[in-house]
Amino acid sequence: MDNSVSKNKLFVASCISLIVTAMTFAIRAGILTDLGLQFDLNDTQLGYVNSLAFLGFPVATVFGGLLYNLLGARKLMIMAFASHIIGLVMTIYAGGFVTLLVSSFFIGFANGSVEAACNPLIADMYTKNRTEMLNKFHVWFPGGIVIGAITSKVMSDYGLGWESQIAIMLIPTLIYGYLFFKEDFPESEHIETNTATNIQSLFNPLFLFIAGCMTLTAISEFGPQQWIERILGNSGVSPMIVLAMVTGIMAIGRYFAGPIIHKLNPIGVLLMSAILTTVAVYSMSIADGSIMIYLGAVLFAFGVCYFWPTMIGFVSEYLPKTGALGMSLVGGVGMLSSAIWQPIIGSWLDAEKETALASGVAENAAELIAGKAALGNMAYFPMALIFLFGLLFLMRKKLEKNRIPQS
């Protein structure tokens, strides 16, 4: 690698860009009710606002994955920076439902561009410990959600509106833009850069299987998180404190992921995660009282902690011929799944609330009933993963033969 390239500086800039990505998720979750009140939107419509943010992500990862070999990480990060600025400013000046949809798409496209550029960049710079370094990079997704959740709560407590909460994200956006654009980027040396080979490798049955699993790991994580304010708003706990606690635990877990991955290997980690997440989501759906909700949330954090980075790392280690395209598409599939499920989750909440209100329950109690019912439905996602990752676990010795050697 060129001596003029600073791996550490590029890694830090990548982490800050991921913090911005995460803050967009956290702050949108925190202001969802405010958006609904200001623009007179129901939960299904708010689900579509969420959905467009998730939809922009896979569009960017498909585009970035296909063109990474041609454009490189630098040009993809220029797209990410520009899209973040456009999306955030459009949201601040949104005039209604349609503007929110468009601005959310731009933010989602920016977030996807960050993933499409940074995942292969980091995998290329740290060949001997890819999954470990990708977990350390993805520390800053939950880390950024902690920052975003606390920022949203503090600004709300001080009477600052949702527009100010969106505007505050322009600061770290400008910082990562400055850091990236003043650094030299490395040439790709340790990932497959032949696009034809990348595309051909996508039809490997193992890649298709992992992509299918990613549709479930993503919604298992983002379903409860993105709707946390609506689901737990009348449960007696602070939704944004729960979100900050969950993502704080996730950040710590990802930082110390190395020994766990070396001990269990990625497949064992994924199976363990599916089991913990299933138990956690189901327990929160039947929990009575704040203590049980907090305990369920802690278990949820340990469950979903390793899903996303380990899935990306799995592709880079076990399916290296898919290159940047494989890593980007797996992430894109996950976000596409989340985009599809967001309005469906919103419709679950609307339907359950209407049923509860029709039975004579007070509105606050109806919202709590609806939230628990939605969580109960979401428990089926990680439950399916127990079976799928169980199959993968039975094949692990055979799969290890094709894995890139790890330090």
What would the DSSP string read from start to end of 96-112? SHHHHHHHHHHHHHHHH
Which has the closest alpha carbon to 300: 272, 274, 282, 281? Answer: 281
pLDDT 10s per residue in the chain (407 long)? Answer: 455 557 888 999 999 999 999 999 888 877 888 888 889 888 888 888 888 888 888 899 888 888 888 888 889 999 999 999 999 999 999 888 999 999 999 999 999 999 889 988 888 888 777 777 888 898 898 889 889 888 888 898 898 989 999 999 999 999 999 998 887 777 766 566 778 888 899 999 999 999 999 999 999 998 887 677 667 766 777 777 787 788 889 888 888 877 787 777 889 999 999 999 999 999 988 888 788 888 888 999 999 999 988 998 899 889 989 987 888 889 889 888 987 888 898 889 889 889 988 988 888 888 888 888 888 999 999 999 999 999 999 998 888 887 876 65
Residue type for 96, please?
Answer: G
| Inter-residue long-range contacts of 203-210, CB under 8 Å, 24+ positions, other chains counted | 204/319, 204/322, 206/318, 206/319, 206/399, 207/315, 207/319, 207/322, 207/326, 209/388, 209/392, 210/311, 210/314, 210/315, 210/319, 210/330
Between CA 113 and CA 108 the distance in angstroms is: 9
CATH 3.30.470.10 fits 7-400, yes or no: no
This prediction has a pTM of: 0.76
